[in-house]
A and B are shown apart, each in its own frame.
Chain A
Amino acid sequence: MLDNLALLVQFPAVTVDVVVNGLLIGAIFALAAYGMALVWGVLNIVNVVQGELVVLGGYVTFLLVQAGMPPLLGLPVSAVVMFGVGWVIYRAIVFRVVDKDVFISILATFGLAILIQQLANLSFGADVRSVDAGLGSAYFLDGMVTVAWVKLIAFVLALVAGAALWLFLRHARLGQAIRATAQNPRAARILGIDTGRVYAATYALNAALCGAAGSLAVMAWTIHPYMGLPYTVRSFMVVVVAGVGNVGAVVAAGLGLGALENVAGFVLGTEFQIAFVFALMVAILVWRHGRAARRREHLK
C-alpha cells in the first residue's frame, strides 16, 4: 500500500492517469444514476433492475453493431429502444408497485432483475461481449496518461444529458408534470395531470438513460448477462450521496465516486476496490443519518 502511494508521488503522470480514468468511469455511473434518482424521486421506487437495464442497452448496441451499424450510431438507437422497453416494463409490472411499500417495489424490481439476467443469458448466451468503437485513445505525457475516446464521449454525454435533463424538468411541459407528480401526486391528478402517463414516461426515460450508459459500457468495457449488479450498486450509491432532486449533485457524486474508486483500487489494490465502495456507502449512510437526526432535533 505504501509502495503504491510512493508510486503516485514519484510519477505524477500516473496520478493524473488514475484520476482521469476514474472520472471517466464515474461519468457512466452518473448517467445510470440520473435515471435512478428520477425514478426514486417521482415513483418512490428504488429501481434494483437499473444495472440490468444498462446491460440490456449494451446488448442492443452489440446486436446493432453485429448487424453492421456503426457503433456510435448504436448509442442513440439503444436509448430509443430502451425507452420503449422501459415503457413496456412500467405498463406490465412496475405500475403495480408504485404506491406500495418500498419493500414490495424492491422485491418486484429485484425479481425483474433476475428475470432479465436469465432472459439475456438465454437469448444472447453467457459470453462476454464487447464492441470496438474503432476510435482508439488519446494520450499525453509520453503515453503515461491515456484517455479512450469512447470514455471521453461518455464524459461529455453525461454532462450534456445532465444539463438536458435539468432543462427538461424545468421547462418542458412533461418535465413540469413530472416534478408536479413527484411533489404531490394527488394534487397533480386533481389539476388534470395524467399521473399514470407521467410515471410511465419517467420510467421509460430512466431506461433510455440506462440504454445510453450501457451502449457506452459495451464500447468502453465488456458486458455479460450478470454484469448488472455493479451498475445498480453504483447508481444507488450516487443517489444516496446526491439525493433525488439534484441533477448537479448526481454528476458530482458520480464523477467523485469513479475517481475515488479508481484511486482506492490503485492504492489499496483492486481486491479492495469494491470493498472500498461499500465501506464508503456505509460511511455516507451513517453520516446522512446523523445529519438528518440533528436536523430533527433542531426542529424540535
Chain B
Amino acid sequence: MQNIYEVQSANKIKSAIIVAFFVVFVALAVYIISQALGIYLGYQPGGLGLVGLAFIISGLMSYVSYYFSDKIVLAISGATPANRKEYFDFYTVAENLAIGSGLPKPKLYVIPDSAPNAFATGRDPKHAVICATQGLLVKLNRTELEGVIAHEMTHVRNYDTRLQSVVAVMVGLIALLGDWLLRASFFGGRSRDRDEGDSGVIILVLGIIFAILSPIIAQLIQLAISRRREFMADAGSVAITKQPDGLISALKKISADTEVLEVANKATAHLYIVSPFKGKKYGSARPEHRGIGWFSNLFNTHPPIEERIKALYDMS
C-alpha cells in the first residue's frame, strides 16, 4: 500500500530512468551510425556534420507539429468548442480542477462521436486544450468525469505533449540517419578503394546493424515512455481529486464500451486517455497467452486497463 505522493514520486523516478535510457541509446546509435556513414562517404570517422543536418531536418518537422499540434489534432478530430450552457458538467468540472491544480483553465472542445474518450494537447499549460467526445460526456457521471479531466490536466501539468515531441525529434533523427546509411551502402561508397583496417569494418557492420534496429528500438522506448506517462497521469488525477473511485469506474466504463472512435488514428492514439483501438485486445489474462500479451504490450501506447485499475485500487 502506497500513498498517492509515494506513487507520484516513484512514477517520476521511473519515467526519468526511461527518458535517460532513451537519451543514452539515441546518443550511442547516432554516434555509431554517423561513424559508419562517415566511412562510407569517404571521410574519416567523425562525420558529425551529417548528424547536425539530420537533427535540423527532424527538428524542423517536429517543431511544426509541436507548435501547431493543438490546431492540427483538433482539425483532424473535427472538434468544436464547448460552452458552459450546453456542456455544463464538462465545463464546470474543468474549471474546478483548474482551480484545484492551480493551472489556467484549458480550452475545451467536444468531438461529435459517441465512443467515450478524451485527450489533452497543447504545448504548455497556457495553450492547453482538453478534448472530450460527446459519448464520454453522456455516459459518465460528474465524479467519473472529474477523474478523467484530472487525468488530462496532469498530462498538461507534466508537459507530456512537450516530452513526446522531444522524443519524436530523437526518433526521427535516428530513423533519418539510419535511412541515409542504408541508402549509402546500397549505392556503394567510394571509400572501398581505400584501406580501412579492421576497426573500419567493425564500425561499418555495427553501423548497419544499428541503422536497421535502432529506429525500432527507439520507437519501443518512445512507447514505454508513453505508457509510463499514463500511470503518472492516473496518479496525478487522484492527487487532484483525492478519490480514485471516480477514475476507476470511468476507466471501466470507457474500456467496456465497444464503440470505436472513428476520428482517431495511429498518429493521435497516444493522446487519448484509453487507447482508441479497442478491437485489438492486449494484455490477455489467460496464462497461455501471457507471452504474446507481453510482446504485443511493447507496441502499445497505453498500459493494459487492468494494470491501471489495479494501480488505482492500491492507492485507495
Our verdict on whether A and B bind, yes or no, reads: no
Chain A residues engaging chain B, CB cutoff 8 angstroms: none
Chain B residues engaging chain A, CB cutoff 8 angstroms: none
